[in-house]
Amino acid sequence: MQCIARSMTSKVLPLFRLTPPGDYEADLKVSLSKDAFLKKFGQHLADVRGRRPTLVDGELLEGYLTAEAGKHPFGTLLERARLAGACPVPVVRPASNADYQNAIRQFLNWSELRLACIRITLEDLESTPSRDSLIELSRLVGRRSGDCILLIDAGPLSIEDEEGLAHLLAHQLSRLIRPSDWSGVIFSCTTFPEKHGLKDWQSSSFERKDWSLYRKIAGMRDEIPVLPIFSDYALEYPGNYKSGGFQPVAHLRYSTENRYFIFKGMSVKHQDKYGNIFRVAEQLVNSGIYKGPEFSAGDAYIYSLARDRNRTGSASSWRCCATDHHVALTLRQLGGLLGVDLGLEHLYVEPDQLQLILP
Q: Is the pLDDT of residue 100 over 70?
A: yes
Is residue 213 predicted with pLDDT exceeding 50? yes
Q: Where are the alpha helices (DSSP H) in the chain?
A: 6-9, 34-49, 73-83, 98-111, 122-127, 131-135, 162-176, 209-218, 276-285, 297-307, 315-338, 354-357
- Quick one: average pLDDT of 170-180? 97
Confidence label for 99 from pLDDT (cuts 50, 70 and 90)? very high
Question: For residue 63, what pLDDT is reported?
Answer: 75
- pLDDT, one tens digit per residue, over 225-277 is 999 999 999 999 987 655 555 688 999 999 999 999 999 999 999 888 999 99
Average pLDDT for 91-109: 95
Examine residue 330 and state whether it is found in any structural domain, yes or no.
Answer: yes
pLDDT in tens, 182-199: 999 999 999 999 999 999
Task: Note whether residue 328 is domain-resident.
Answer: yes
Q: Tell me, what's the pLDDT at 243?
A: 55
d(CA 163, CA 332): 23
Q: Return the higher-pLDDT residue of 66 and 159.
A: 159
Q: Would 201 be classed as within a structural domain?
A: no
Between 333 and 32, the higher pLDDT residue: 333
The residues, any chain, with a CB within 8 Å of residue 241's CB and separated by 6 or more, are: 17, 19, 20, 60
Q: What is the structure's pLDDT at 344?
A: 57
Confidence class for position 358, pLDDT limits 50, 70, 90 = very low
Residue 346 pLDDT exceeds 60? no
In a domain, 273, yes or no: yes
The answer to whether residue 347 sits within a structural domain is: yes
Q: Write down the pLDDT at residue 169.
A: 96
> Residue 174 pLDDT > 80, yes or no?
yes
Classify residue 150: in a domain, yes or no: no
Mean pLDDT, rounded, for 81-85: 95
**For residue 103, pLDDT beyond 60:** yes
Decide if pLDDT at 5 tops 90. Answer: no
pLDDT tens by residue, 48-64? 899 999 999 999 887 77
Those residues with Cβ within 8 angstroms of residue 132's Cβ, 6 or more apart along the chain or in another chain: none
| Secondary structure element (H or E) that encloses residue 57, with its range | strand 53-57
Can you give the pLDDT at residue 71? 81
Mean pLDDT of the chain: 88
Provide the residue range defining the domain that includes 316: 247-359
What is the arithmetic mean of pLDDT over 10-33? 69
Computed from CA positions of residues 44, 46, 50, 56, in that sequence, does the dihedral angle turn out positive or negative? positive
- What are the percentages of helix, strand and coil residues in the chain, rounded to 5? 40, 20, 40
Tally of structural domains, the chain: 1
Q: Is the pLDDT of residue 157 over 60?
A: yes
Give the pLDDT confidence score for residue 334 in this predicted structure. Answer: 94
In a domain, residue 281? The reply is yes
Q: Is 346 part of any domain?
A: yes
pLDDT tens readout for residues 122-131 = 999 999 999 9
pLDDT tens track for 293-315: 999 999 999 999 999 888 999 99
